[in-house]
Structure 1
Amino acid sequence: MKIYNFKDLSEQDIKTLCSRSLDDDEQVAETVREILTGVSDEGDALLYKLAERFDGVKLKSLFLDHTELADIAAAIPEEARAAIDTAAANIRAFHASQLHVEGKTETMPGVTCWRESRPIESVGLYIPGGSAVLPSTFLMLVIPALLAGCKEIVVCSPPQADGKTNCYLAYCAVLLGIERIYLVGGAQAIAAMAYGTETIPAVSKIFGPGNRFVTAAKQLVQDRVAIDMPAGPSEVLVLADETANSAYLASDLLAQAEHGPDSQSILVATSSQILEETKIQLSLQLALLPRKDVAAKALANSYMVLVESLEEGMIFSNHYAPEHLILATDRFERVIPMIVNAGSVFLGNLTPESAGDYASGTNHTLPTSGFARGYSGVSVDSFLKKITFQHITAGGLKNLGPTVETLASAEGLEAHRNAVHIRLERLRKADNNA
């Protein structure tokens, strides 16, 4: 990993370092456009062909039903079952705390306004399953959807080599009451949920992380369906000072790097010694990883930055806008107010990002590629619509009406003014006749 000195970086250098764009981005987009058009036109037929082409599986069915899922789930090891149960309980507890009823506000006498939440009726959840199958993502997406009250929850995940799903995803489905898992992955899964096919229903909003093809597909279907956010290749930025432990730092960087070759792990540190010690630890720990080849490619796409202070480090971090931000310092409290752009933050030297990925309770479906500047991670609110209400009494209309009439006239919208005026006139006549 190359080391940059922050004081030597120009604004353009920082912009370039913080860019996640790759040379073949347009080629990826063009491939995805072809898949989207094909699924829209051909439906299930193309999904079967793409499963054989991309997943190496000749499917007999595009989904697993409840009975099949229960049979597969029965094979889960007891230790894994207990871990999923614990993670599910923590995720449910954290997300349940986000549910609340807003009060009514009387903006002026006789004029009452408020908001009420309604669940999005149909949602599509994408669970990655390429080089790594992620039951944690299943929990992170399904639990808030259930808490929100979504009526139709469509789950898509790529088929495994046997044309099924694994026992971990199957157990999550049984645990949470999901009746079907659709065996579709990649951009074609996003297309199926956006356009609908003979088997897979179209939904109103699509959720879930994925590779560059999945992310491109989500962005391209937004003319017809809402999405949670652009959530592509995973990334972490670790901000460390002299109180950090280099072995911990290396483990956090590698935890992110093993997601995929296009993941990115950034270390920003106030000490050149910490940077050098971490490079040594990276070599030692990388050699022991089963996915070392994947992690090594991600590290080749990553770098380190030397800064003079935590404050300077936060300037860089806010430019980068990381999906995950780890504050590897005992002085994290002083840094928190400086955070402007980040998906999820991990405080101190004993809070690894892995905890949030699996079981602390916070959601791990987060904005990547700098989109943390304008997006939040998934929450119960992501599955809700906020509908505003207002009620005006006779007295309220007398108080508010003249203001509306004046503004409508100023905008030249006489019908708007008249909608108020005729009501006020009737109220005045009723008062006069009383």
Structure 2
Amino acid sequence: MRRFDYSNPAFNVAFDAFLDERRGSPADVDAAAAEIIEGVRRGGLPAALDYARRFDRAELTEETVRVTPEEIEIGVRDCAPEVREAIAFAARRIRAYHERQRPADARFVDDAGVELGWRWTPLEAVGIYVPGGRAAYPSTVLMNAVPAQVAGVDRIAMTTPPGRIEPAVLAAAYEAGVSEIWRLGGAHGVAALAYGAGPIRPVDKIVGPGNAYVTAAKRRLYGVVGIDALAGPSEIVVVADADNDPDWIAADLLSQAEHDPAAQSILITDSPGFAAAVEAAMARQLATLATGATAQESWDIHGAVIIAPLDASPGLVNRIAPEHVEFAVPDPDRLADQVRHAGAIFLGRYTPEAVGDYVAGSNHVLPTSRAARFSSGLSLYDFLKRTSIVRCDAQAFAELGPHTVALARAEGLPAHAHAAAVRLNIPRR
């Protein structure tokens, strides 16, 4: 864990170097992903199943690669009642939040008499990648599938690493209306969704987080399919004054540190004494946390405490551009309103980031690795396309046509110019 003093003249250089440490991905990961993608593109399902055998030690066939309706039913039945209830509760809130994002179609006639507008239509087919490995992620299913369902996507195909699929994951898929589930993980699972593989039909867009190989595959497949984002390790910044309970703030920092050794947790406070109390609380909690080894590594390598005036915190947050930021202060809006670069903002002492991960209703698929400078979290718009609409009558075209000809000729595109000129009886040059 690093300590930074905002008043130190060397702060800016040291802090920027700290932020730059987490950038980039290993070249060998990208090369391996490229090889796997090409293998699936050429070899289809047999190649994907061979990668599953090599990487996951899973013996799958065309008949067993798909999760059956009976298996989904069993998963729903085996899911603990309180978890099923929580899944349904979260799904309702996520659905309601994303319904409010629905945009309107529009048509209007401008001063030239041209009819213009746009319309929104859902994607036809979306693939959802749901990680396995470190934990079961029913929340990932809900956050990706429910907005797609709300948007009206015709087909939602989910892929997840082979092995036992946790009942909570299957219950979440059932709640979100996902019945097409494939036992393929990693870069080969993503490639199968992009190109198609045997019974797996290709999709138009792939969403959902994964490991470094999944992210590298998504980067390479962009253009073959749409992708949501290039997800990196989780991040949280907590801005807190000394009136907070240090145990609460420590728990918030650890809530992201437990995700991955590469996750990042940063505390910004104006009180050195409070910072020390939070560090002590983290040590106590780490000693009993089931995911303590992962969280400890994350905190040791990527954690930070910044001692700074609270009024400086919005500027620091904008430099970090974190996935999540909490303002645990008396007047959080005053500071939060100055933040331009953050995936999600949590206001007040009773709004831990964890509620956003599960049941607040807002989406937890958010930009990482400072991508909040130029991108947003997953939303209904990721599953919709906007199509422009234009109509001219003879009178409207008479006003637009000559300018079209002039610009097309200026660009050296005579066929463009002629397409307008021929309607105006303007001689071809």
Which TM-score band applies after superposition, normalised by the shorter structure?
over 0.9
Quote how far apart the aligned CAs of 1:79 are. 0.9
Q: Deviations over 1:287-346 (max 9, x none)?
A: 121111111111122232424323322222212111111112122111122111111111
Percent identity over paired residues? 36
Which 5+ residue runs of structure 1 have no aligned equivalent? 427-434
Matched, 1:155 2:158: yes
Quote how far apart the aligned CAs of 1:352 are. 0.7
Matched, 1:104 2:101: no
- Are the equivalent residues in 2 in contact too, given 1:20–1:369 (CA < 8 A)? no
Aligned in 2, Cα 1:344/1:38: closer, same or farther, shift over 3 Å? same
Which deviates more, 183-192 or 414-423?
A: 414-423
Query: 2:28 corresponds to which letter in structure 1?
Result: Q
Q: Distance in 2 between matches of 1:42 and 1:425?
A: 55
Which deviates more, 290-299 or 187-196?
A: 187-196
Aligned partner of 1:86 among 72, 77, 89: 89
Quote how far apart the aligned CAs of 1:24 are. 6.7
Q: Distance in 2 between matches of 1:107 and 1:310?
A: 49
Residue 103 of structure 2 aligns to a residue in which SS?
coil
Q: Which residue pairs with 1:214 in the alignment? A: 214
How is 1:5-404 mapped onto 2 (pairs within 5 angstroms)? 5-8=5-8, 9=10, 11-21=12-22, 25-59=26-60, 61-160=64-163, 164-404=164-404
Aligned residues: 423
Query: 2:332 corresponds to which letter in structure 1?
Result: F
- Are the equivalent residues in 2 in contact too, given 1:123–1:207 (CA < 8 A)? yes
Q: Distance in 2 between matches of 1:341 and 1:84?
A: 30
- Are the equivalent residues in 1 in contact too, given 2:336–2:345 (CA < 8 A)? no
TM-score by length of 2: 0.92
Aligned in 2, Cα 1:239/1:131: closer, same or farther, shift over 3 Å? same
Q: Distance in 2 between matches of 1:273 and 1:159?
A: 48
Aligned in 2, Cα 1:199/1:19: closer, same or farther, shift over 3 Å? farther
Residue 390 of structure 1 aligns to a residue in which SS?
strand
Aligned in 2, Cα 1:87/1:24: closer, same or farther, shift over 3 Å? closer
Query: 1:87 corresponds to which letter in structure 2?
Result: A
Q: Distance in 2 between matches of 1:391 and 1:191?
A: 40
Q: Which residue pairs with 1:431 in the alignment? A: none
Q: Distance in 2 between matches of 1:307 and 1:129?
A: 37
- Are the equivalent residues in 2 in contact too, given 1:128–1:210 (CA < 8 A)? yes
Q: Distance in 1 between matches of 2:23 and 2:369?
A: 11
Residue 80 of structure 1 aligns to a residue in which SS?
helix
Q: Deviations over 1:154-184 (max 9, x none)?
A: 1011123xxx312111112222322221111
Aligned in 2, Cα 1:405/1:41: closer, same or farther, shift over 3 Å? closer
Quote how far apart the aligned CAs of 1:37 are. 2.8
Q: Deviations over 1:5-51 (max 9, x none)?
A: 13334544333222253797223223322322333333333433443
Q: Distance in 2 between matches of 1:243 and 1:374?
A: 34
Query: 2:161 corresponds to which letter in structure 1?
Result: P
* CA RMSD after TM alignment: 2.1
Q: Distance in 1 between matches of 2:334 and 2:183?
A: 47
Q: Distance in 1 between matches of 2:403 and 2:256?
A: 56
Q: Which residue pairs with 1:432 in the alignment? A: none
- Are the equivalent residues in 2 in contact too, given 1:69–1:171 (CA < 8 A)? yes
Quote how far apart the aligned CAs of 1:353 are. 0.6
Q: Which residue pairs with 1:415 in the alignment? A: 415
TM-score by length of 1: 0.91
Residue 423 of structure 1 aligns to a residue in which SS?
coil
Query: 2:378 corresponds to which letter in structure 1?
Result: V
Query: 1:140 corresponds to which letter in structure 2?
Result: M
Q: Distance in 2 between matches of 1:211 and 1:7?
A: 38
